[in-house]
Chain A
Amino acid sequence: MSDMAQTVSFQRISKAYGNFLAVRNFDLEIKPGEFVAFLGPSGSGKTTLLNMAAGFVRPDAGRFLIGDEDVTDLPPRKRSIGMMFQSYALFPHLNVFDNVAYGLRVRKRPNAEIAQRVLNVLKMVALTGYEKRAISELSGGQQQRVALARAIVIEPSLLLMDEPLGALDRQLRKHVQLEIRRLHRELGGTTIYVTHDQEEALVMADRIGVMRAGKIEQIGTPTELYRTPANTFVAGFLGESNLLEGQVLRRSSDVASIGLPSLGIELTGRCVANLVVGDKAAALIRPELASLQQTGPLQGLITEVVYLGEIVACRVKLRSGQDFWCRRFASQDAPVEGAETSLQFEARDVLILPVDHERGD
C-alpha cells in the first residue's frame, strides 16, 4: 500500500446546505502516507469534508484531487477510497469473510487472490478464525475491526474514517487507537480521520486540523497544536487549559506582557500571534506546567483535589473567583483542600494568545 500512497488535495472547496455554510473555501494538501485528523465540534464541517472526499457529497465549488487526478465529479466507486463508517455499515447478511471480500469480488479479482488477501488482512486485524462468523455474532470491537479490514483490503489510495471509535467503550477505544496507528504505520496509506475526540486525534494523527464553522482554525502536528495553539479556541479544544484574560501591555518580537486587572498583576509569556498593545489577549498556562508553591505570582485557595490515577488534579480558586486547575503526580505530597496556596510557573510556559470565544457549535 505504501507505494500506492497518494497526495490528496482540497482546493478552495465550499459546500452549503441551504443557508448554512458547512465548508468555506477550504484548502489543504495532504502528503502521501500522511494521517490527518479533522478535529472539531459538531457542525464544524468535518464530516461534510469527509463525505466530499468520499464522493457522497458534491462540493458547490472547488476541486478535490487524489494524486494528480481531479476526482471532484467521480462517484465513490471510481475513486479508490476505503471508507470506515461511524456505524461500521457492515453488510448484515454476509459473514466476516464475505464482508471483507466484497470490494475484491466487485473488482472481479480471481478467487485464490481474494482468499489470500482477505485472510491476510484478517490476520492484520487479529480476526483469524472468524471468517465464517455472522456480523451479529461479533462484539462492537470486532465489528469495528471487520470494517477496518474491509476498507483496507482493497488497498485504497485514500482511507477515510468517520469517528469509527465512537461506539466503543473507553478501554477498548484506547486499545484500538494504538492498533489503527500501528496499522497505518505498517501500511502507510494516506488517511483522513474525523473526530470530535481530542485524545483520538492526538494519539493517531501526524497532523491535526482543528475545525470551526467550516474552516480550519489551525493545522499542525499534535505537539505544535498543544504547545502553540493559535488562539483560545484551539487551546480550549486540545488538552486542558487555564486561560487568564487581559489586555496586551507590551509587545516585542516573540514576547508579550498582559495586564490582568481582575487579579491586579501582569503576566509575561511567549507570543507568536499577531497581537499589538491594547488588544484583548489571554495567558495560557497548561495545568501540568503550574505547581503549587509557598510563593508565586497567583494566590488562591485549594477547593478541590481529584485523584485521576497517576495524576492529582487540584482546583485553585483565584482571588478573581476564577478556577485554575493544576496537575501533579500522585506520588508527590498530596495537596490539602481548603489550604492557601500560590501558583508558580516559568515565563516560557506562559503563552499569550488572541481571545476567540465564539465557538463553532
Chain B
Amino acid sequence: MATREYYFTSMTCGVEYATRFEILSKDNLKEIMPSAPLAGSRDRRVDRFWGSVLLLLPLAAFLLMVFVVPLAMLLKLSFGGAGGPFSAYSEIASSEVYRKVFLNTFTLAITVASCTVLLSYPTAYMLSQLSGWKRSVAFWCLFFPLWISVLVRTFSWIVILEKSGPVNRALLGMGLTSSPLSLLFNSFGVHVGMVHVLLPYALLPIFTSMKAVDRRLLLASDSLGASPLTTFGRIYFPLTLPGLSTGFVLVFLMALGFYITPAMLGAAQHMTISMLIDNFVNERLAWPLAAAASFSLLFVIVALVASANRLVNFVSAMAAR
C-alpha cells in the first residue's frame, strides 16, 4: 500500500523527491517504474560527499597543521644526516646498542600487553555480568585512576614498591622473604606501572565484545551437549577474540611509545626507543638520528598492525575447528 502511495508522490513531485528521502530504495523503484530516471540519486550522492567534507574540514585542517606537516618535516629531517641522506638510518641499523633498544622496547610492549589483556579478560567478564548500580560503581572504581596524572600514579608506585614500602614490609612481616625484594628500577616495576596505566584500554574493548555475546548462544551450546569449558573455548572465546585483540593491539601500540613510566620505574640498562629518542634530542642534539628512530618505529608498527588482523582471523578459524 505504502509503496503505491509513494509511487504517485514520485510521479507528481519527481522521482528525486522519493529517492532523496529514502522512501524508495533503488531496486524498489526499478520494480515499479522500470524506466525511472535515477538522476536524483546521483545528485544526492554528490551532496552527501560535500556534506561530509564540510563536517570533516575543521579536524582535517587541525591534523594537517599539527600532525601531517610536522611528520613530513620530521621525515625530511631524518634524511638530513651529515653523512648523506641514509646515514641516520644506517647508523641505527648498524649499531648493536640501538638494535638492542628496539628489541627491548618491543618485548616490553608485548609482555605488558599480554599481562594487561590477561588481567582484563576475567575482569571484563565479571563487569559484563554486573548490572545497574553495581556496574556503575565498578566502572567508576576502574576509571577513577584515569583522572590522576600518569606522573602522580608512577610516583605512587615508587612509594608502594620501594625497599621499605608497604609491599616489602608486608612480605617481610609474613616471613615470605628474609630481605626486602627489589621491586623497582627493574623490569618488574616497569610492568606494574605500565599495566596499571594501560589496563582500561584493554578492558573496554574486551568488555564491549563480551556484552555483545548473545546469552542464548551459550544456552544453545549447553543444550547441544557442550561442557562449560567447551562452550567457552568454542563459542565464547572466539566471539570475544576481536575485542581481546583490539585491546592487545591498543595497549601494545601505546606501550611502544611509553616514556614516563619506563624512565621512572625501569633500570638504566632497559632503555626504550622513546628514551633513546629523548637522548638523541636532549643530550646529543642529533635530530636526524631522532627522526630516523621515530620513523623506524612507525614503520615497524604499521607492518605489525597490518599483519595483526590476519593473525586474529587465523586464530578465530582455528578455534572453530
B214 (CB) vs chain A CBs: closest residue: A89
User: Known contacts being A94-B320, A98-B320, A106-B230, is A89 close to B225, with CB within 8 Å?
Assistant: no
The segment out of A77-85, A258-266, A315-323 that lies at the interface is A77-85
The smallest beta-carbon distance between A80 and chain B, in angstroms, is 8
The segment out of B94-102, B173-181, B215-223 that lies at the interface is B215-223
Q: Is A91 an interface residue (CB 8 A)?
A: yes
Give complex CA distance A87, B230 in Å. 22
User: Known contacts being A91-B235, A93-B316, is A106 close to B222, with CB within 8 Å?
Assistant: no
Of B219, B225, B239, which is within 8 A of A92 by CB?
Answer: B239
Q: Is A54 an interface residue (CB 8 A)?
A: yes
Give complex CA distance A154, B226 in Å. 12
Kindly identify, within residues 81 to 116 of chain A, every residue whose CB is under 8 Å from any CB belonging to chain B.
81-83, 85, 87, 89-94, 98, 102-103, 106-107
CB pair B230 A89 closer than 8 Å: no
By DSSP majority rule, is chain B's interface helix, strand, loop, or mixed?
helix
CB pair A93 B220 closer than 8 Å: no
CB pair B239 A83 closer than 8 Å: no
User: Known contacts being A92-B239, A93-B316, A93-B320, is A81 close to B214, with CB within 8 Å?
Assistant: no
B213 (CB) vs chain A CBs: closest residue: A92
Give complex CA distance A87, B214 in Å. 10
Q: Is B296 an interface residue (CB 8 A)?
A: no
The smallest beta-carbon distance between B81 and chain A, in angstroms, is 50
Query: How would residues 131 to 145 of chain A score, 1 for a CB under 8 Å from any chain B CB and 0 otherwise?
Result: 000000000000000
Q: Is B227 an interface residue (CB 8 A)?
A: yes
Of B217, B238, B239, which is within 8 A of A89 by CB?
Answer: B217
Across-interface contacts of B239 in A (CB, < 8 A): 92-93
Q: Is A76 an interface residue (CB 8 A)?
A: yes
A107 (CB) vs chain B CBs: closest residue: B225
Across-interface contacts of B221 in A (CB, < 8 A): 91, 102, 106
Q: Is B224 an interface residue (CB 8 A)?
A: yes
Give the number of residue pairs across the A-B interface with Cβ within 8 Å: 67
By DSSP majority rule, is chain A's interface helix, strand, loop, or mixed?
loop
Query: How would residues 9 to 49 of chain B score, 1 for a CB under 8 Å from any chain A CB and 0 otherwise?
Result: 00000000000000000000000000000000000000000
CB pair A75 B320 closer than 8 Å: no
Give complex CA distance A55, B217 in Å. 15
Q: Is A184 an interface residue (CB 8 A)?
A: no
Across-interface contacts of B222 in A (CB, < 8 A): 55-56, 75-77
Give complex CA distance A103, B224 in Å. 5
Give complex CA distance A91, B234 in Å. 10
Of A55, A79, A85, A98, which is within 8 A of B220 by CB?
Answer: A85
User: Known contacts being A85-B220, A92-B239, A93-B238, is A154 close to B214, with CB within 8 Å?
Assistant: no
Q: Is A150 an interface residue (CB 8 A)?
A: yes
Give complex CA distance A87, B216 in Å. 8
Across-interface contacts of B223 in A (CB, < 8 A): 54-56, 76-77, 79, 81-83
The smallest beta-carbon distance between A88 and chain B, in angstroms, is 9
Of B214, B224, B238, B320, which is within 8 A of A106 by CB?
Answer: B224
Give complex CA distance A56, B217 in Å. 13
The smallest beta-carbon distance between A77 and chain B, in angstroms, is 5
Give complex CA distance A292, B223 in Å. 54
Binding site for B on A (CB under 8 A): 54-56, 75-83, 85, 87, 89-94, 98, 102-103, 106-107, 150, 154
A-B complex: 10 closest residue pairs judged by Cβ atoms: A103-B224, A83-B223, A89-B220, A89-B216, A76-B222, A106-B226, A76-B223, A106-B225, A77-B225, A93-B238
Interface CB pairs A-B, < 8 A, 15: A56-B223, A75-B222, A77-B223, A77-B227, A82-B223, A83-B220, A85-B220, A89-B214, A89-B220, A90-B220, A91-B220, A93-B239, A93-B316, A102-B221, A107-B225
